Amino acid sequence: MSEKFSPTLRIGDLSDFIAPSQACVISLKGTQSTSKKPDRPQVVLASKQQQTEAVKISLKDCLACSGCITSAETVMLEKQSLDEFLSNLNKGKDVIVSLSPQSRASLAVHYGISPRQVFKKLTTFLKSLGVKAVFDTSCSRDLVLIEACNEFVNRYKQANSPHDETCSPPLPMLSSACPGWICYAEKQLGSYILPYISSVKSPQQSIGATIKHHLYRALGLRLEEVYHVTVMPCYDKKLEAARDDFVFQMGSEGGTRDNEGLEQTEVDSVLTTGEVLDLIKLKGVDFKELEESPLDRLLTNLSEEGNLYGVSGSSGGYAETIFRHAAKTLFGKDINSPLEFRTLRNSDFRELTLEVEGKTVLKFALCYGFQNLQNIVRRMKTRKCDYHFVEIMACPTGCLNGGGQIKPKPGQSPKDLIQSLEAAYMEDVLAADPFQNPIAKRLYEEWLDGPGSKEARKYLHTQYHPVVKSVTAQLSNW
């Protein structure tokens, strides 16, 4: 892993208390806590008197579930990411920024303007610093949704084929966009759960692949000079960008023979929404008074009327989009009305079904937060999970509530903030079928050779791996 993502911490110097987890709580004598029904990981912090040796923990060792980034790590990451971003601008790198719609909504609520105004003003601000282009990850999200729709339909057909007794890949298909969930699955759940996870990359990594493998040519840039930064609602995206799976070697098509074999990452650095706000304040800019620049149309979802292409669902709309596509493709049901999810245990655990001739043929669920997530995992362990697809997000209420978003203002409750974010998220948005996105169509025609193709699988899909828990071994010997 790149050194920039591997700073170390002295655990004994931290004061955070992270909610307990039976798998992660290690006492000073190396024995595990007996805490019951864990929900989140905890590291027991030793006092300076008790500490005999500093234990080095890289970000890759972090379980990365919601809320696990300590305050010391937060300060460290904020300083590191902003410094690196500005450093590469000063070095004359060709910096490209990709903005998530969740971050856009967070800045819109904070400043009391529309998300489209945020996008245009942020384009002005970033280009004044030397950024070459500012793109919209909603475009890559549509690519991801198309691939996920294609993958689900194929899995469903295999699972219901009388000639396919192996049923591989299996159902339920679990979403793969949340890096906190992926990290938890790889480190805690082992190989039994990984085959169920969709192989499609997240929108962050998909736009990274698009820029680093294809778009830099259209921009007239040299690949080795491109520095790609994303603006995301959670810190876990930093960990996702550092995955070895998203590192590739430059070929001769990427430049000259001198740089052939040089390692590249799809996303070089990640800024959270809060870090962008810090950057605006650092530069002393009155953001609301900034002029609104034209948007970079090459990789930005913008209709002729000036609306941003979007989908329902503040965490990417995976369940809704795949449900509508599967209903139409598999059963000829064209669903244009709003989908009605039934709330189960709480508002973060909802399900949706489609019946044909009195039989339930599709059963989908939204599962947000680790408490609900573990309920799904228990069902799968006992083979009692009858869902066909589950949209899983580590954060309660989903990506709009990511740990990297701007915090509530004084006197504003988290609940009120979320309601404002949900309203802003769909403002200026044209809810449209991802398959009708003109940019996605163009990319499939000129680069990816159609949904589900060999090229699409090469650039828009990935793999998952069971991970040995290295930190536990270190702490046990502490």
In this prediction, residues 84-94 reach a mean pLDDT of 94
In this prediction, residues 347-356 reach a mean pLDDT of 95
pLDDT in tens, 447-457: 999 999 999 99
Q: Which of 158-172, 275-289, 302-316 has the lowest mean pLDDT?
A: 158-172
Is 314 a member of any domain? no
pLDDT, position 294: 94
pLDDT, position 60: 46
Per the model's pLDDT, the better-predicted residue between 51 and 107 turns out to be 107
pLDDT band at 80 (very low <50, low <70, confident <90, very high): low
Read off the tokens for 268: 């070089």
Is the per-residue pLDDT at 152 higher than 80? yes
What range does the domain containing 279 cover? 76-139+203-309
Is 272 a member of any domain? yes
In this prediction, residues 61-68 reach a mean pLDDT of 45
Is 183 a member of any domain? no
Q: What is the pTM of this model?
A: 0.83
Cα distance between residue 268 and residue 241, in whole Å: 7
Strand partners of residue 272: 232
pLDDT, position 435: 94
Is the per-residue pLDDT at 30 higher than 70? no
In this prediction, residues 20-42 reach a mean pLDDT of 36
pLDDT in tens, 216-228: 999 999 999 999 9
pLDDT, position 455: 97
Is 302 a member of any domain? yes
Q: Assign 3-class secondary structure to the chain.
A: CCHHHCCCCCHHHCCCCCCCCCCCCECCCCCECCCCCCCCCCCCCCCCCCCCCCCCCCHHHCCCCCCCCCHHHHHHHHHHHHHHHHHHHHCCCEEEEEECHHHHHHHHHHHCCCHHHHHHHHHHHHHHHCCCEEEEHHHHHHHHHHHHHHHHHHHHHHHCCCCCCCCCCCCCEECCCCHHHHHHHHHHHCCCCHHHECCECCHHHHHHHHHHHHHHHHCCCCHHHEEEEEEECCCHHHHHHCCHHHEEECCHHHCCHHHCCCEEECCCEEEEHHHHHHHHHHCCCCHHHCCCCCCCHHHCCECCCCCEEECCCCCCCHHHHHHHHHHHHHHCCCCCCCCCCEEEEECCEEEEEEEECCEEEEEEEEEECHHHHHHHHHHHHCCCCCCCEEEEECCCCCHHHCCCCCCCCCCCCHHHHHHHHHHHHCCCEEECCHHHCHHHHHHHHHHHCCCCCHHHHHHHECCCCCCCCHHHHHHHCC
Query: Mean pLDDT across the chain, nearest whole number?
Result: 82
Is the per-residue pLDDT at 410 higher than 70? yes
Number of compact structural domains in the chain: 1
pLDDT, position 239: 84
pLDDT, position 161: 79
Is the per-residue pLDDT at 433 higher than 50? yes
Is 348 a member of any domain? no
Percentage of the chain beyond pLDDT 90 is 61
pLDDT, position 199: 97
Q: Which of 8-17, 78-87, 229-238 has the lowest mean pLDDT?
A: 8-17
Is 250 a member of any domain? yes
pLDDT, position 314: 86
In this prediction, residues 61-89 reach a mean pLDDT of 61
Is 301 a member of any domain? yes
Percentage of the chain beyond pLDDT 70 is 77
pLDDT in tens, 290-325: 999 999 989 988 877 788 888 888 898 999 999 999
pLDDT, position 66: 40
pLDDT, position 77: 54
CATH of the domain at 276: 3.40.50.1780
Is 331 a member of any domain? no
Half-sphere exposure of 58 (CA within 13 A, CB side): 13
Q: Which of 52-61, 168-177, 278-287 has the lowest mean pLDDT?
A: 52-61
